[in-house]
Amino acid sequence: MSEHQQFLADGTVSFLPHRLNRHPVVVRGLTADELWICCGLSGVLGLLIGTTLSLLFSTFALVPTFAVVSIALGVFIGGGFLRRRKRGRPDTWLYRQLQWRIATRYTVFNAWVGGHGLITRSGHWTIRRDVP
Protein backbone atom coordinates (compact mmCIF):
# COMPACT_ATOMS: atom_id res chain seq x y z
CA MET A 1 0.00 0.00 0.00
CA SER A 2 1.09 3.52 -0.62
CA GLU A 3 2.12 5.64 2.31
CA HIS A 4 0.00 8.52 0.94
CA GLN A 5 -3.32 6.72 1.48
CA GLN A 6 -5.51 8.06 4.23
CA PHE A 7 -6.59 5.58 6.91
CA LEU A 8 -9.49 6.20 9.26
CA ALA A 9 -9.43 5.39 12.97
CA ASP A 10 -11.05 2.01 12.41
CA GLY A 11 -8.34 1.02 9.91
CA THR A 12 -10.39 1.38 6.73
CA VAL A 13 -9.17 3.30 3.71
CA SER A 14 -10.97 6.62 3.25
CA PHE A 15 -10.32 6.75 -0.49
CA LEU A 16 -11.72 4.26 -2.98
CA PRO A 17 -11.26 4.60 -6.73
CA HIS A 18 -14.35 5.96 -8.45
CA ARG A 19 -14.00 3.41 -11.25
CA LEU A 20 -14.16 0.44 -8.91
CA ASN A 21 -17.75 -0.55 -9.74
CA ARG A 22 -17.69 0.23 -13.46
CA HIS A 23 -18.08 -2.48 -16.06
CA PRO A 24 -14.76 -3.14 -17.78
CA VAL A 25 -14.28 -2.26 -21.42
CA VAL A 26 -14.17 -5.45 -23.49
CA VAL A 27 -13.91 -4.55 -27.19
CA ARG A 28 -13.61 -1.17 -28.97
CA GLY A 29 -14.83 0.84 -26.01
CA LEU A 30 -17.88 -1.35 -25.39
CA THR A 31 -18.70 -3.02 -22.09
CA ALA A 32 -19.96 -6.60 -22.09
CA ASP A 33 -23.64 -5.56 -22.03
CA GLU A 34 -23.16 -3.07 -24.87
CA LEU A 35 -21.25 -5.68 -26.85
CA TRP A 36 -24.15 -8.13 -26.48
CA ILE A 37 -26.62 -5.47 -27.65
CA CYS A 38 -24.43 -4.58 -30.63
CA CYS A 39 -23.84 -8.23 -31.58
CA GLY A 40 -27.49 -9.12 -31.16
CA LEU A 41 -28.83 -6.29 -33.29
CA SER A 42 -26.27 -6.73 -36.04
CA GLY A 43 -26.70 -10.52 -35.96
CA VAL A 44 -30.46 -10.25 -36.42
CA LEU A 45 -29.92 -7.83 -39.29
CA GLY A 46 -27.42 -10.23 -40.88
CA LEU A 47 -29.84 -13.15 -40.48
CA LEU A 48 -32.60 -11.18 -42.18
CA ILE A 49 -30.38 -10.15 -45.09
CA GLY A 50 -28.87 -13.63 -45.38
CA THR A 51 -32.27 -15.32 -45.32
CA THR A 52 -33.61 -13.01 -48.00
CA LEU A 53 -30.59 -13.56 -50.24
CA SER A 54 -30.58 -17.33 -49.62
CA LEU A 55 -34.18 -17.52 -50.80
CA LEU A 56 -33.31 -15.50 -53.90
CA PHE A 57 -30.21 -17.51 -54.83
CA SER A 58 -31.37 -20.90 -53.42
CA THR A 59 -28.32 -21.48 -51.25
CA PHE A 60 -28.36 -21.83 -47.48
CA ALA A 61 -24.71 -20.86 -47.04
CA LEU A 62 -25.55 -17.16 -47.30
CA VAL A 63 -27.43 -17.14 -43.98
CA PRO A 64 -24.51 -17.89 -41.60
CA THR A 65 -22.09 -15.98 -43.83
CA PHE A 66 -24.10 -12.77 -43.63
CA ALA A 67 -24.73 -13.30 -39.91
CA VAL A 68 -21.00 -13.55 -39.13
CA VAL A 69 -20.02 -10.69 -41.46
CA SER A 70 -22.72 -8.41 -40.06
CA ILE A 71 -21.68 -9.14 -36.45
CA ALA A 72 -18.07 -8.30 -37.30
CA LEU A 73 -19.11 -5.08 -39.04
CA GLY A 74 -21.56 -4.28 -36.25
CA VAL A 75 -18.88 -4.55 -33.58
CA PHE A 76 -16.34 -2.61 -35.64
CA ILE A 77 -18.65 0.17 -36.82
CA GLY A 78 -21.06 0.14 -33.86
CA GLY A 79 -18.23 0.09 -31.35
CA GLY A 80 -16.62 3.16 -32.87
CA PHE A 81 -19.96 4.94 -33.11
CA LEU A 82 -20.93 4.20 -29.50
CA ARG A 83 -17.46 5.10 -28.21
CA ARG A 84 -17.77 8.56 -29.81
CA ARG A 85 -21.33 9.00 -28.51
CA LYS A 86 -20.47 7.91 -24.93
CA ARG A 87 -17.36 10.05 -24.57
CA GLY A 88 -17.59 12.23 -21.46
CA ARG A 89 -21.00 10.88 -20.38
CA PRO A 90 -21.93 8.88 -17.29
CA ASP A 91 -21.77 5.07 -17.30
CA THR A 92 -25.54 4.63 -17.46
CA TRP A 93 -26.07 7.15 -20.27
CA LEU A 94 -26.67 4.58 -23.02
CA TYR A 95 -29.25 2.65 -21.00
CA ARG A 96 -31.12 5.78 -19.93
CA GLN A 97 -31.05 7.11 -23.50
CA LEU A 98 -32.56 3.88 -24.83
CA GLN A 99 -35.11 3.85 -22.01
CA TRP A 100 -36.10 7.47 -22.69
CA ARG A 101 -36.43 6.94 -26.46
CA ILE A 102 -38.60 3.87 -26.01
CA ALA A 103 -40.73 5.59 -23.35
CA THR A 104 -41.35 8.70 -25.47
CA ARG A 105 -41.73 7.13 -28.93
CA TYR A 106 -43.28 3.74 -28.19
CA THR A 107 -45.62 4.29 -25.24
CA VAL A 108 -46.94 0.72 -25.47
CA PHE A 109 -43.60 -0.50 -24.07
CA ASN A 110 -43.48 2.21 -21.39
CA ALA A 111 -44.23 -0.13 -18.49
CA TRP A 112 -41.87 -2.81 -19.82
CA VAL A 113 -38.81 -0.50 -19.86
CA GLY A 114 -39.73 1.39 -16.68
CA GLY A 115 -40.45 4.63 -18.48
CA HIS A 116 -42.94 5.81 -15.84
CA GLY A 117 -40.02 6.71 -13.57
CA LEU A 118 -38.50 9.09 -16.11
CA ILE A 119 -39.12 12.81 -16.24
CA THR A 120 -40.38 13.42 -19.77
CA ARG A 121 -41.68 16.96 -19.33
CA SER A 122 -40.26 19.48 -21.76
CA GLY A 123 -40.39 23.21 -21.26
CA HIS A 124 -38.91 25.96 -19.14
CA TRP A 125 -38.29 25.27 -15.48
CA THR A 126 -38.81 28.00 -12.93
CA ILE A 127 -38.00 28.33 -9.28
CA ARG A 128 -41.10 30.48 -8.67
CA ARG A 129 -39.33 33.25 -6.85
CA ASP A 130 -39.96 36.92 -7.31
CA VAL A 131 -36.85 38.75 -8.36
CA PRO A 132 -36.73 42.24 -6.85
What are the domain boundaries of the chain?
Answer: 25-113
The CA distances from residue 109 to 45, 83, 100, 105, in Å, are 22, 27, 11, 9
Q: What does pTM read for this prediction?
A: 0.63
- Rounded CA gap, 30 and 33, in Å? 8
- Residue 5 is predicted with a pLDDT of 55
- Residue 106 is predicted with a pLDDT of 83
* Max CA separation in the chain (angstroms): 79
Residue 10 C-beta-side C-alpha neighbours within 13 Å: 2
- Residue 49 is predicted with a pLDDT of 95
Q: pLDDT digits over 84-124, tens only?
A: 888 888 878 888 888 888 888 887 877 777 777 777 677 78
